[in-house]
Each structure stands twice: as structure tokens, then as C-alpha cells.
Amino acid sequence: MATNFAAHSRLMNDYRNLKRDPIPYVVAEPLCGNILEWHYVLQGPEDSPYQGGFYHGRLLFPDNFPFAPPKIEMITPSGRFQTNEFICLSISNMHPESWNPCWTVGTLLCGLLSFMIGNAKTNGTLESTEEEKKKLARESLNFNLSNSQFVELFPDTVNKIRLPPSNYECIDMTFESVHKTVNDFDFDRDLSNDPFIFDDWDSDSDFSM
């Protein structure tokens, strides 16, 4: 099925921006041959129950993106989200009324990570103890390595997982500073080369519902 030109153009632009200016704790790749299906990996921030974990999920974009939001799901068990179930967020397809066409793939994943390390509840979340989350963070490594699609899409992350934790590339950020990363995210940078610019948006929008 041919992809809408606007969706293809916008998503390719988002991809170039993510490659040019990577976001801490976030990587994402579209499927070869289907720009509307993206896979992402969130790395658990330091000083959080998710530290050391790698969380694989999917973004399913509609053909009329960026004028409608994507479906968001997580594949790796985290103790925070139900697996293979769509998550109800203001940046997801479950709340099209709150969607802003200026939000990019980077915006979506920053918002998802911020929501993940918080405690707010919504459809698609789970309740678990901190110890359960830490256990799942450790188990996430082998879980992801058993997924052939993960291994194919994220070879650099696979190499990182296979290293002892003490040898992970150090990112000097803490649990609290992830929220600052979201708040300080340069939305204008992400959209500087995008043909679909809208003026009536709020970069301080709350992603949770």
C-alpha cells in the first residue's frame, strides 16, 4: 500500500533529525519497506527502577500522519505497561482530540519515557513493586535478544546489551533529569526543516491523561 506523501515526508524528516541529534535513552527505527511502523528502544534511566533495562516497543502511524496520532505499545515486559497492548496517552491514537500535528517521533518517545518513569495510571499501565520492575529490567536483556526483529533493527543496542553493565556507555543523567530533558527538548530544531509547520501548539503540553 502506498504511503501518503505527507506522512512519508514528515516521518523521513523525523528520522533524519533523530539520527543527526540523538535523544538520550531513546533509539528508533522504521521498518524497511514500511515507514508507518517504527520500533523504539527506551533505556532505563539511572536512579530509577528501570536502570539497566532496555524496553522495546512499536509506534504504528496512520496514513494521514501528522494530522492524526500513532498507536503506541511496548513489547518488553517492564512492570509499568501491559505488553502488546496499546497505551492510552494524550500523544496516542486513543486521544485524537488532544493530538498536535507538530509533535514528532522524538516528542512522542520523550513523552513516553517521561510517563514511564512516573506513577500516573492510564489504560495500558500496570501496578508492580519497585523490586519487580528491577527484576524485569534485568530480564529485559535476554528477552530482547530472543527477539529476531529487535536484533535486526538495533545492532548497536544489542552490542551494548552483551557488554557487562559496568561497561555500558556512560550517560551523565539521573532519574530526575529525564523530566528536564523532556522540558528542554528543542521542538523548533526538530521541525526546522519540516514542511508541515503549525503555529497553534504548546511545547509545555502534558502527555499523560
The set of catalytic residues is: 88
H/E run at residue 35? strand 34-43
Q: What is the 3-state secondary structure (H, E, C) of the chain?
A: CCCCHHHHHHHHHHHHHHHHCCCCCEEEEEECCEEEEEEEEEECCCCCCCCCCEEEEEEECCCCCCCCCCEEEECCCCCCECECCECCCCCCCCCHHHCCCCCCHHHHHHHHHHHHCCCCCCCCECCCCHHHHHHHHHHHHHHHHCCHHHHHHCHHHHHHHCCCHHHCCCCCCCHHHHHHHHHCCCHHHHHCCCCCCCCCCCCCCCCCC
Say how far apart CA 97 and CA 68 lie, in whole Å.
Answer: 9
